[in-house]
Amino acid sequence: MIHYTPYIPLFPFIAFVINILFGRYVRKGAALISIAASLAACAVALPAIAYVVHHGAYSVQTEWLLLGKKTLSFGVLLDPLGCVLLFVVTLIGTLIQVYSAGYMHDDAHFSRFFAYVSLFMAAMLTLVIANNYLLFFMAWEVMGLCSYLLIGFWSEKNSAADAGRKAFLTTRVGDIGFFIGIMTLFAGAGTLNFADLGHAAHLMENTPLLTAAALLIFCGTVGKSAQFPLHVWLPDAMEGPTPVSALIHAATMVAAGVFLIARSFPLFEAAPDAMQTVAVIGTMTAFMAAFIALSATDIKKVLAYSTISQLGYMVAALGLGGFAAGTFHLMTHAFFKALLFLGAGSVIHGCHTQDLREMGGLFGKMKHTAATFVLASLAIAGVPPLSGFWSKDEILAAAYTAHNPVIYWTLALTALMTSFYMFRLVFMAFFGKPRNPKIHAHESPAVMTVPLWLLAIGAVLAGIPGSPFMHHWFQNFLAGGVHAGGHAAGHGSEHVIIPFVVATSLAAAFGGIISAWFLYLKNPGLPAIISRVFRPLYTASLNKLWFDEIYTILFIRPFGAMSRALYRIDEQVIDYLVNKTGLATARTSRIKGWIDKHIVDGLVNLTGWTVQLASALVRLLQTGYLQHYVLIAFLGTIVLFFIELRK
């Protein structure tokens, strides 16, 4: 079964081809086709994962491109790290597609939606099993395309169309960095294979190129995983249908950036400066996004910033050397964040609004949704024994063992804020009294709630394999992969529960929940007062730290101005010169024409005139009278006669 691994992405791809070409014939069957393809992918993937668990990494490759004397091979690498992602993507992807069948049921472009989702699945699965950077990058970009298409899925809405473009362009800025990073790596080490990375890092050890390559590759993460300063696209991406937000912008695609760092881990490990940068950026992002999430009122925006924040967590973990911790959080986060988004989708489906201020008291009306949502919130807040607790604890432990108090406390504070804003959301939406009487919420159909419960099981249990209950099986499994020679196995600290860290983590989780309860259920008037007291902070959070505005001033406007200015230069300078050259030539030729007409041709005419003038004189002789001619002839004869005589 393992040998069919390369064909895993093929199933969703076939579904894509069918749905995009024959969408108008298959209609609602599109969902069935896509789900079937996902299930098929699952059916191949799960045994393959089992194989890797028992026998270790699997790889196969074939020659793809000739670059000079080097050949680039494409192939498949399925190591423990890839297995984690493969597991997450196939499982969550399938569940979300089932959910989508209900959520998108009445959409006019039902089949197109599933076509795009299938293409996304194909790309994501290719990325997961890719064995080298180039194939990885190709899949990475196709995912970006799907993200673009799906964010702008309801393209009649201007905001959706703009958001899609923004997402693509912003991530592309990061992707270009990634692209240059790939070239740097190839130029420096002559290989793009993940399996050779340890060797490559060794080759480039202690050169600035290595740090450069690592940082440039990290640019890709910054764009795709919405890290500071390229995070601005992800909140806007919420314009897409909610299942898309769950699948692409929470569980899988955005996590691919984290996966990229994990894949490149040998490279980063050899470049401490790059690692440091990664950790700092991750921490900053985590804190910043959580801060913005505190004041967001759109249910999806809260989740979007939460996603950014959690991704920052993972990035920070990897930057701190917590390879297993970051990957672990990636997996648990995929479950609970997908669940949160799907829950939010169910709420939106039921209430037809996304504004938290209009919701309230939904628990009674949407029992399944509310229950699962609360479970997921508990998980993300880090309440034991749900999944989020274990992975967040691992990350904090990594920060703790890295002896970096600034990062440690920032992350702890972020954890506090996370649990606060999540329960702020829960209390505002599901508890208290309904704020808007016009909303008649209803529970979603089973096709949507069943996936919610299945994901809830994941959100609750996903942490167990990495917990002491299973003797940190997850961490040990990861350590058995290609990275075994490098890092992860060496640090026993990752597998030890540090009481101080656990205490911090628990304090943060419960502190956030309790304060949210106090502010939003107990004393609903209090938040307004607090926001007035801390007005500068509140406005900063509400305005998302003015990133969009700053970028507009700093980049977008100058960019437009630059392009217009260059166009003006093109038209009014370069083309002007060209036209002037043409005109100057025309003018010179006019002068030459004058010379030609009046001087050159004048000379010719002068010759003619001279002849004419001379002949005018001579023709006076031509009287036409015969006798004159005869007389002249006669006189001439006489003259000749006399001349003859004179001799």
Partner 1 sequence: MIIPLEHYLIFGAVLFTIGIYGILVRRNIIGILISIEMILNAVNVNLVAFSRSTSASPETGQIFAIFVIALAAAAAVVGLALVLALFRVRKTVLTDEITLLKW
Partner 2 sequence: MQTHLLSWITFTPLAGALLVLLLPKNNSRLIKSVATAATLLTGALTVKALTLFNAAEPGFQMIEKAVWIPQFNVHYYLGTDGISFPMVFLTALISILACIGSFGIKTREKEYYFLYLLLETGMMGTFLALDLFLFYIFWEVVLVPMYFLIGIWGGPRREYAAIKFFLYTLTGSMFMLLGILALYFKSEPHTFDWVRLANAGFDPGFQKIVFLALFLGFAVKVPCFPFHTWLPDAHVEAPTPISVILAGVLLKMGTYGFMRFSYPFLPDAAEWFRPALAILAVIGIVYGGFVAFAQSDFKKMVAYSSVSHMGFVLLGLAAFTSDGFNGALLQMFNHGTITAGLFLLVGVLYDRAHTRDMGAFGGLSAVTPVYAGILIFFSLASLGLPGMSGFISEFMTLLGSYTYSKLFTGLACIGIILAAAYLLTMIRKVLLGPVNDKWKGLTDINLRELITLVPLMAFILWIGVYPKVILSYMASSVQVLLASVGGVS
Residue 518 or 634: the one with the smaller Cβ distance to partner 1 is: 634
Q: In sequence order, what DSSP letters do the residues of 491-558 get, joined into one string?
A: -GGGGS--HHHHHHHHHHHHHHHHHHHIIIII-TTHHHHHHHHTHHHHHHHHTGGGHHHHHIIIIIHH
469 binds, among partner 2, partner 1, none (CB under 5 to 8 A by kind): none
Side chain identity at residue 601, one-letter code? D
625 binds, among partner 1, partner 2, none (CB under 5 to 8 A by kind): partner 1
List 164, 220, 312, 451, residue binding partner 2 (CB under 8 A):
164
Q: How many residues bind partner 1 (CB under 8 A)?
A: 10
- What whole-number distance in Å separates Cα of residue 414 and Cα of residue 292? 11
- What whole-number distance in Å separates Cα of residue 647 and Cα of residue 530? 145
Residue 630 interacting with partner 1 (CB under 8 A): yes
List 108, 627, 643, 644, residue binding partner 1 (CB under 8 A):
627
List 1, 53, 65, 550, residue binding partner 2 (CB under 8 A):
65
Site string for partner 2, 8-47 (x = CB under 8 A): ------------x---------------------------
Smallest distance, partner 2 to C-beta of residue 186, A: 7
305 binds, among partner 2, partner 1, none (CB under 5 to 8 A by kind): none
Residue 632 interacting with partner 1 (CB under 8 A): no
Q: In sequence order, what DSSP letters do the residues of 175-236 get, joined into one string?
A: HHHHHHHHHHHHHHHS--BGGGHHHHHHHTTTSHHHHHHHHHHHHHHHHHTT-TTSTTHHHH
Residue 471 or 580: the one with the smaller Cβ distance to partner 2 is: 580
Contact 167, 237 (CB under 8 A): yes
Smallest distance, partner 1 to C-beta of residue 634, A: 6
Residue 624 interacting with partner 1 (CB under 8 A): yes
Phi-psi region of 376 (alpha: psi -120 to 50; beta: other; left: phi over 0): alpha
List 155, 353, 493, 531, residue binding partner 2 (CB under 8 A):
155
Per-residue tokens: 480: 């058995």
Question: Residue 64: which H helix or E strand, with range?
Answer: strand 58-67
Contact 410, 504 (CB under 8 A): no
623 binds, among partner 1, partner 2, none (CB under 5 to 8 A by kind): partner 1
Contact residues for 582 (Cβ-Cβ < 8 A; gap 6+):
none
- What whole-number distance in Å separates Cα of residue 283 and Cα of residue 278? 8
Per-residue tokens: 469: 């209950």
639 binds, among partner 2, partner 1, none (CB under 5 to 8 A by kind): none
- Touching partner 1, residues 604-623 (CB under 8 A): 619, 622-623
Side chain identity at residue 560, one-letter code? G
- What whole-number distance in Å separates Cα of residue 626 and Cα of residue 441? 130
- What whole-number distance in Å separates Cα of residue 209 and Cα of residue 300? 41
- What whole-number distance in Å separates Cα of residue 210 and Cα of residue 185? 8
- What whole-number distance in Å separates Cα of residue 474 and Cα of residue 331? 11
622 binds, among partner 1, partner 2, none (CB under 5 to 8 A by kind): partner 1
The one segment of 33-41, 147-155, 272-280, 395-403 that binds partner 2 by CB under 8 A? 147-155
631 binds, among partner 2, partner 1, none (CB under 5 to 8 A by kind): partner 1
Residue 558 or 636: the one with the smaller Cβ distance to partner 1 is: 636
Residue 577 or 631: the one with the smaller Cβ distance to partner 1 is: 631
Phi-psi region of 439 (alpha: psi -120 to 50; beta: other; left: phi over 0): beta
Per the listing, tokens 């703790």 go with 400
The one segment of 148-156, 430-438, 488-496, 588-596 that binds partner 2 by CB under 8 A? 148-156
Residue 625 interacting with partner 1 (CB under 8 A): yes
The one segment of 330-338, 432-440, 507-515, 626-634 that binds partner 1 by CB under 8 A? 626-634
Residue 469 interacting with partner 1 (CB under 8 A): no
Contact residues for 204 (Cβ-Cβ < 8 A; gap 6+):
188, 189, 210, 213, 270
- Touching partner 2, residues 176-205 (CB under 8 A): 176, 179-180, 183-184, 186-187
Contact 197, 264 (CB under 8 A): yes
Site string for partner 2, 79-118 (x = CB under 8 A): ----------------------------------------
403 binds, among partner 1, partner 2, none (CB under 5 to 8 A by kind): none
Q: How many residues bind partner 2 (CB under 8 A)?
A: 51
Residue 560 interacting with partner 2 (CB under 8 A): yes
Main-chain phi, psi angles of 264, to 5 degrees: -90, 15
Per-residue tokens: 567: 């166009």
Contact residues for 414 (Cβ-Cβ < 8 A; gap 6+):
283, 286, 287, 290, 309, 312, 313
28 binds, among partner 2, partner 1, none (CB under 5 to 8 A by kind): none
183 binds, among partner 1, partner 2, none (CB under 5 to 8 A by kind): partner 2
Site string for partner 1, 133-162 (x = CB under 8 A): ------------------------------
Contact 335, 341 (CB under 8 A): no
CB atoms within 10 A of CB 367: 13
List 355, 549, 570, 601, residue binding partner 2 (CB under 8 A):
570
Cα 29–chain centre separation: 30
Smallest distance, partner 2 to C-beta of residue 20, A: 8
Mutual orientation of helices 208-224 and 253-263 as an angle, nearest 10°? 160
Smallest distance, partner 1 to C-beta of residue 630, A: 5
By the criterion CB under 8 A, which residues form the site for partner 1?
619, 622-627, 630-631, 634
By the criterion CB under 8 A, which residues form the site for partner 2?
20, 63-69, 134, 137-142, 145, 148, 152, 155-158, 160-162, 164-165, 168-169, 172-173, 176, 179-180, 183-184, 186-187, 559-560, 562-564, 566-567, 570, 574-575, 578-579, 582
